[in-house]
Amino acid sequence: MNRKSWIAVLTLFACLVTVFLAPSAYALPPQQSYTSGDVVALRGTPHLWIAGDDGALHWAGDTRALANRPVDWSSRRELSLEELRAQRRGDPYLSAGLLKEGDPIYLVKWESEQSVPTLLQIQSIPDVELFGINGSNYGDFVLDRNTWQGRFGLNVDALTRGTLAPAVAPPATATPAVTVTPAVTLQVREVERHQTAQYEYEYRFEISGAAPNARLFATVEFEEWICSPECTDTFRSRRGPFEIGTANREGRLEWKETHPPYKGSTYIFTDTQGNSVTVGIGNDI
């Protein structure tokens, strides 16, 4: 093959590489920069994100959550879903968190002019993820019924309920399709509790019902005895969420924790899909 033929072959090869290998990189929307207070809207929806001091976008759940934050409404711009997903997103701005009651997760939307909030059911897990909820902050924002009522002093049954506008539209299908998705119902069992030292106790739990190989997280809310040396006073605190391991192929995980004596504690176990289970433990002493 002569020199001209080699040049032609190499040119053709370069063109093929450009066509078949490069498009995925070129198709990625750019990461944009933001000033604190910038407003970003998801095109075709009522959902807004506000840029924070960290340069990340934070989903705005209600006006009460924005009361003490800078917001420049004149800076509003619209992004497509693909463009928004390419941006750096932080924790959501929420005034009263999200409420999980059974399977549904609700936005507790509490506007500045309202005396009580409204519960709006979030339509899908992709919506929850787009709003900035993940395995690292799930326990901070998603509360079960008892925890939410204890924190805000309101009866969930007395609140008005509705449906939150979807952010991630379901994929269009030419014909209806029936799919069967195994239900995920987390369960927890206290396997053992014993004293390991003078002021040290160990709990052992078995979490079951998870999806195979699912990552699991724990959040601990507790009232701890102050023993110096007598155990007379207590203080309340909270840890987590933190990752405790991965379920086996049967959806089970055994986990143990060593800690000072608790007067009472609540353990909340969650997975990355938002499923959770709660167990309460009594006084160690």
| 246: three-class secondary structure by DSSP | strand
Say if CB 229 and CB 248 are below 8 A apart. no
Print the domain residue range for 199: 187-281
Q: Position 136: which residue type?
A: S
Q: Which pLDDT does position 166 carry in this prediction?
A: 93
Within-domain flag for 178: no
254 inside domain:
yes
Length of the chain: 285
Residues 147 and 209 in one domain: no
Q: What is the per-residue pLDDT for 176?
A: 58
- Predicted pLDDT of residue 153: 94
Tokens of 195: 């004293």
Strands 215-227 and 161-163: unpaired
Residue 187 has pLDDT above 90, yes or no: yes
Q: Tens digit of pLDDT for each residue in 104-141?
A: 999 999 999 999 999 999 999 999 999 999 989 999 99
Mean pLDDT across 250-259:
94
Q: What is the pLDDT of residue 285?
A: 86
Q: What was the pLDDT predicted at 22? A: 44
pLDDT in tens, 1-28: 444 443 444 344 444 444 444 444 444 4
pTM of the model: 0.52
Residues 6 or more apart whose Cβ sits within 8 Å of residue 193: 201, 202, 203, 204, 281, 284
Please say if the pLDDT value at position 190 is more than 60.
yes
What is the pLDDT, as a whole number, of residue 13? 43
* Whether residue 191 sits in one domain with residue 159: no
- Say whether both 47 and 134 belong to one domain: yes
* pLDDT for 103 beyond 90: no
Answer yes or no: do 191 and 159 share one domain: no
Query: Long-range contacts: 231-237, Cβ < 8 Å, 24+?
Result: 231/199, 231/261, 231/285, 234/263
| Same domain, yes or no: 237 and 134 | no
204: domain CATH number is: 2.60.40.10
Question: Is there a single domain that holds both residue 159 and residue 46?
Answer: yes
Q: For residue 272, is it within any domain?
A: yes
Average pLDDT, the chain: 86
Say what the pLDDT of residue 2 is: 45
Confidence label for 180 from pLDDT (cuts 50, 70 and 90)? low
Do 87 and 198 lie in one domain? The reply is: no
In a domain, 14, yes or no: no
**Does 203 map to a domain?**
yes
The answer to the question of residue 8 being in a domain is no
The reply to whether 44 and 149 lie within a common domain is yes
Q: How many independent structural domains does the chain possess?
A: 2
Q: Is there a single domain that holds both residue 52 and residue 149?
A: yes
In a domain, 179, yes or no: no
154 and 52, same structural domain?
yes
Whether residues 47 and 93 fall in one domain: yes
- Percentage of the chain beyond pLDDT 90 is 74
Does residue 135 sit in the same domain as residue 226? no
Q: What is the pLDDT of residue 110?
A: 94
Distance between start and end Cα atoms, the chain: 89
* Residue pLDDT, tens place only, 38-92: 999 999 999 999 999 999 999 999 999 999 999 999 999 999 999 999 999 999 9
192 lies in a domain?
Answer: yes
DSSP letter for 126, please. H
